[in-house]
Amino acid sequence: MNRRHFLLNLVATSSFFASPFQLAKAARKPLLKPKRLQSGSIVGIVSPAGATFVREELNIVIDAVKGLGLVPRLAPHVLERYGYLGGKDKDRAADINQFFSDSSVAAILPIRGGWGCSRMLPYLDYQRIRKNPKILVGFSDITALILGLNAQTNLVTFHGPNGLTSWRKTQTDYFRRILFTGEAVTFQNQKDGDDSDRLVQVKYRTQTITSGKAKGRLIGGNLSVLSAIVGSPYLPNFSGAILFLEDTGENIYRIDRMMTHLKIAGLFDKLAGFVFGQCSNCSPDADYGSLTLEEVVWDHIQPLGIPAWYGAMIGHVENVLTLPIGLEVEIDADAGTIRMLESAVE
């Protein structure tokens, strides 16, 4: 046997004994982490998705950034409008490219979600972004942006608050712990609002789909947005990943349709673990009968046999927690936790 054949056989033998998680980890590019925030860091405010029609909303975001002890800087096209979009695709992308090029900017914060991030993904300068890693945070339609950047650059991005979210104490505390302090946080549902003085928790209860623990890179976000970029180069590799999903305002049959899309695309078969968050205002349609949301999720996830749980406090809710996309985590499907295995920032 010559040397080449020997090496090929050695790789094949090693691959046979390695787990899918180990193989996926070995094949990935080095992880890029942004620098942590400090008091006085500059935050670039952008409109990568929906337009902002009322200037007062921009002022609210500016005040929120200042309240965090940070310095707001407005993107050139932040108040532009092109129909329902925050400007033309190339202009919105140019704002993000500019902030990634600017060494004085530490983080990028969108005003809102809406729709439009997927349209500008082809116009982002991923080589420039890779050379200048920094914090990018957002949720809802921003799912396409945080996943696209992670897929193209292996930069840790953050599923977290948009500028116009509540910035209540819980949300702000998680934001600070992860992006300022650099803690490796364990996420778990908390009693919220009227639940705070109840004997038992009623809101944000969790259910185990399949018991167990699993480790992998955390990937996820809004189901509608994520399912729409399947097959594109802007979806991260699902091999050995922990996937979380959330949505809002969708009929249950549509949730079923989108989860079926992920299933028949072969993405669910690659996962190490799964978490389903909140589906706010997701209800049956007006037909005679409907599956429940629980039935849809269990139908798709339970047969996988991977650790999985339902009801995470992730989604279009009052407190939007900051979750690191692309970072190694461990989930415990019985305890209903997501545990970061390392800091998400340098």
List, by residue number, the catalytic residues: 140, 246, 316
CA distance 176 to 7: 48
* Count of beta carbons in the 10 Å neighbourhood of residue 254: 17
Nearest to 52 by CA among 43, 44, 60: 60
CA distance 317 to 315: 5
Q: How many residues in total does the chain contain?
A: 346
Strand partners, 136: 108
Give, in order, the Cα–Cα distances in Å from 232 to each of 148, 163, 198, 254, 344: 9, 28, 46, 21, 26
Q: Across the beta sheet with 323-325, what order do the strands follow?
A: 71-74, 42-46, 105-110, 135-138, 157-159, 323-325
* Count of beta carbons in the 10 Å neighbourhood of residue 295: 12
- Coil, helix or strand at residue 198: coil
